[in-house]
Amino acid sequence: MNKKRYFLLNILSIIIINMFIFVSFYFYKNSVLAQDKIETKEDIFYDVIMAQELFSSDTKSSLMSEGINACKRGEYEKALDKFNKVIEINTDYYDAWIGIGNSLFNLGRFDDAISAFSKATQIDPDKFEAWNNKGLVSLRLRKYPEAIEAFSHAIKIKPDSHEVCYNIGLVLSELGKVNDAIGAFDKALKFKPDFVEALDLKGLALAQMRRFDEALKVYERAVEILPDDDELVYRKGLMLLRLKRYEEAVNVFNQVLRLNPNHYVALIDKGMTFDEMGKGNEAVEAFDLALKIKPDFVEGWNVKGLSLTQQSRYTEAIVAFDKALELNPNAHMVWSNKGLSQILLKDYQNALTSVEKALHISPDFFPAWTNKGIALNGLQRSEESIKAFDMAIELQPGYTKAWINKGEVLAQLQRYDDAIKAFDAAIDINPNMFETWYNKGLAQYFSNKYDDSVKSFDNALILRPEFYEILNIKGIALTKLCKYEDAVKAFEIALSVNPMFYDALYNMACTYASMGNKEQVSNTLSKLIQLNASYKEKISQEPLFKDYAILYQ
């Protein structure tokens, strides 16, 4: 099982709240031109109207100025009061509605803000600010169709607005239309090539599509523009980690930490990079530094536990998982991971308790169903174990681990044909997993399908040629097929890697006996007994070696 869990933040969702771009709005003062007139009764009446308009205009301008200044000071209630007084004078005053909308937004009254911006669009549908701001607030409320509609109006008014292109990209990202979002960010960058925010979200979108090479190039460009931005440098490191360029990733995470020594997430990812490099001690050191900065970081304790599990330090791993669970008793993934460590300690009953807690919290968490199946199998509850694996498969049909574990339990029950079907399902999902081919080969061997088993073992050896032990069982299968020369070659290759591979020597002697090559049998058995005298008893019990009693007496 892949015990790694990359600490991946759902940045696209988190980042939106903090990255709204509001376009400044402008207010205009009305000017009044006074003219000399000869006063008649009509003129006096006209002058009264003009005086009222002059008073109204001055009042609006004064109230607007007061509202704007209040906004600048963060006094949004006061600003709202001033803008509302303008509306009392002139219901169709566009700029006042913009001010009301922005004040309401800053007060957290988002629905009312949308209503205010909608009123502004009705007054003047050809002005940009109202449409753009309405779109932004709709985005904030996750009203994505309304946001798209508003931004579509805004972009018609200002086709070269990099802000609106960016905002459209935000909405498309939230709708899961990642490829379209990338197109929108590209348009924003066409109008403003150094628009770092667009580069950032484009990189995240590319990463979401697993286009890590392209994402890395985007972040390299962003870092060129803002070399001291620790978050951009951090994301560059993440892409390198995803590309398995581990040494470079560590160097970049170190750069992040020089910019921001308290960047505990960079320390976590640095630790996971060390894990991928097989440097377990360095990984744990990095995790400990991160947890020193943020001791209540649940995911930090979780990944530390996973690292310790990978290093076979199961008891220490459980301590780390328990710390995470003290902080968050409802962390279902941690319960499942704790259960796995307990399984590896063969503490199956407590493991079952842990994974059942995980499933109580999150019944659809399919890895916990797989771990439950393993724990049940450890408790000799095989049929229940298979049902647990089936539940994991029902929830996630592409989960190879569940198929493999199901196949292993079926093989233990000597239901080899069913086991082979399970292994084939895993191979259909991922044909590049060594353990699947190996286990399939074993199931085929024990069901007397020797020719098929040799083919499976060969596929396994392609994936892991250093796994010389498999050559031993392959040699036995070839012997069963009476392909003695090929069998001897398999044993010889295994022994060239490990001359102390006693079972391979023993099975080679069996093959020579089947060939009737007494000289080679004698030589091979003599060598085996010289290396390991404890094999004498096993040799004495093998009918093939009854003529060689002198060697083991």
The length of the chain is 553
Give the sign of the dihedral formed by CA 151, CA 154, CA 155, CA 161: negative
CATH class of 468-553: mainly alpha
Residue 333 to residues 299, 304, 330, 534: CA-CA distances in angstroms? 10, 13, 9, 47
Residue 23 pLDDT: 29
Distance CA 3, CA 254 (A): 25
pLDDT of residue 93: 87
Six-digit token string for 264: 């505990």
Nearest to 405 by CA among 417, 387, 379, 431: 387
Classify domain 227-327 by CATH number: 1.25.40.10
Does residue 126 contact residue 106 with C-beta atoms inside 8 Å? no
Closest to 355 (Cα-Cα) out of 527, 379, 427 = 379
CA–CA dist 304, 310 (Å, integer): 10
Fold of the CATH domain 10-28+37-209: 1.25.40
Instruction: Give residue 87's pLDDT.
Output: 86
Write the CB contacts of 400 (distance below 8 Å, at least 6 apart in sequence).
426, 429, 430, 433, 436
Residue 15 has what pLDDT? 26
pLDDT at 434: 97
d(CA 378, CA 358): 19
At which residue do the structure tokens 């015990």 appear?
3
Q: What is the DSSP letter of 23?
A: P
pLDDT digits (tens, 9 = 90+) for 98-134: 899 899 999 999 999 999 999 999 999 999 999 999 9
d(CA 249, CA 113): 44
Task: Report the C-alpha gap between 382 and 379 in whole angstroms.
Answer: 8
Helices (H), 311-429: 314-327, 332-344, 348-361, 366-378, 382-395, 400-412, 416-429
Domains 10-28+37-209 and 227-327 in one fold: yes
* Beta-carbon count within 10 A of 435 CB: 18
Question: Which DSSP symbol is given to 467?
Answer: -
Torsion of CA 276, 278, 281, 284, to 10 degrees: 20
Contact of 550 with 520, CB cutoff 8 Å? no
Using the structure block, give the residue that is written with the tokens 């607030």: 137
Q: Are 236 and 252 in contact (CB under 8 A)?
A: yes
Q: Which residues of the chain have pLDDT under 70?
A: 1-58, 60, 549-553
The whole-number pLDDT of residue 550 equals 60
| Domain ranges across the chain | 10-28+37-209, 227-327, 468-553
